[in-house]
């Protein structure tokens, strides 16, 4: 039994859901609109200010799809009503980040500057304060897209376990290792 799939999705004020014949769920809210393509066998019902995903049978495939589509629709509802935000911190001497439009230029200790192009759906901001590490802030309504872009940026210089240098998420706990001890 899918516990996630059984939960109804609460629709906040200002969020409307449209279900088309092509199994396309359109979620509109104050921040924008998202489309979720669902399987043809699943059914979506809107009852007042709640939404439910209904599976046709108790087969393993339908149970897994039940939870998946309920979670995707829930993420879309949260995205168009509140939005998502990811913050990345650049830890290291001389590490810098600067955003111009949809391009982030980063200095990460390589011999060249690393440039990354961010999709139009994501708002990029960089913040560098004196005596603190530079922070890249990504804001979007699409949870999957923002997570993918944040992981791609982090993969350019993942944090290393000895000094903690690299790109990490703000609030991320790193597992640190002790260095080589001096021999007697």
pLDDT tens, position by position, 85-140: 999 999 999 999 999 999 999 999 999 999 999 999 999 999 998 999 999 999 99
Relative orientation angle of helices 143-155 and 60-81, to the nearest 10 degrees? 90
Q: What is the structure's pLDDT at 1? A: 45
- Edge-to-edge order in the sheet of strand 50-54: 9-10, 50-54, 43-47
pLDDT beyond 70 at 151: yes
- Edge-to-edge order in the sheet of strand 114-117: 96-100, 103-107, 114-117
In Å, how far are 12, 17, 21, 36 from 50, measured between CA atoms?
Answer: 9, 10, 20, 17
Complete domains list, the chain, with CATH: 3-81 (3.90.930.12), 84-169 (3.90.930.12)
Could you tell me what percent of the chain has a pLDDT over 70?
A: 97
Q: What is the structure's pLDDT at 184? A: 61
CA count, 13 A, side-chain hemisphere, 5: 20
Q: In sequence order, what are the residues at sequence separation of 6 or more whose Cβ sits closer than 8 angstroms to the Cβ of residue 16?
A: 27, 28, 29
The tokens for 88 are 């990345």
- Local confidence band at 3 (pLDDT 50, 70, 90 cut-offs): confident
pLDDT beyond 60 at 2: no
Q: In sequence order, what are the residues at sequence separation of 6 or more whose Cβ sits closer than 8 angstroms to the Cβ of residue 172?
A: 159
The structure tokens 């014949």 sit at 21
Pair type for strands 103-107 and 96-100: antiparallel
pLDDT tens, position by position, 54-69: 999 989 999 889 999 9
The pTM of this model reads 0.89
Q: What is the structure's pLDDT at 105? A: 96
Pair type for strands 84-91 and 135-140: antiparallel
Q: What is the mean pLDDT of the chain?
A: 92
In the three-class reduction of DSSP (H, G, I as helix; E, B as strand; rest coil), residue 47 is classed as strand
Q: What is the structure's pLDDT at 181? A: 79
């Amino acid at each position: 039994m899918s516990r996630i799939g059984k939960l109804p999705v609460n629709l906040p004020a200002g969020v409307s859901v449209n279900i088309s014949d092509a199994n396309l769920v359109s979620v509109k809210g104050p921040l924008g609109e998202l489309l979720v393509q669902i399987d043809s066998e699943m059914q979506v019902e809107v009852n007042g200010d709640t939404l439910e995903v209904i599976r046709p049978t108790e087969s393993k495939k339908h149970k897994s799809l039940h939870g998946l589509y309920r979670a995707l629709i829930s993420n879309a509802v949260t995205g168009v009503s509140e939005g998502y935000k990811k913050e990345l911190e650049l830890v290291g001497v001389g590490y810098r980040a600067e955003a111009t439009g949809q391009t982030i230029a980063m200095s990460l200790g390589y011999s060249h500057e690393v440039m990354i192009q961010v999709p139009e759906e994501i708002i990029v901001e960089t913040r560098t304060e004196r005596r603190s590490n530079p922070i890249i802030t990504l804001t979007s309504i699409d949870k999957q897209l923002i997570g993918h872009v944040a992981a791609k940026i982090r993969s350019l210089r993942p944090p290393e376990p000895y000094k903690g240098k690299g790109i990490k998420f703000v609030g991320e706990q790193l597992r640190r290792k002790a260095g080589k001890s001096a021999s007697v």
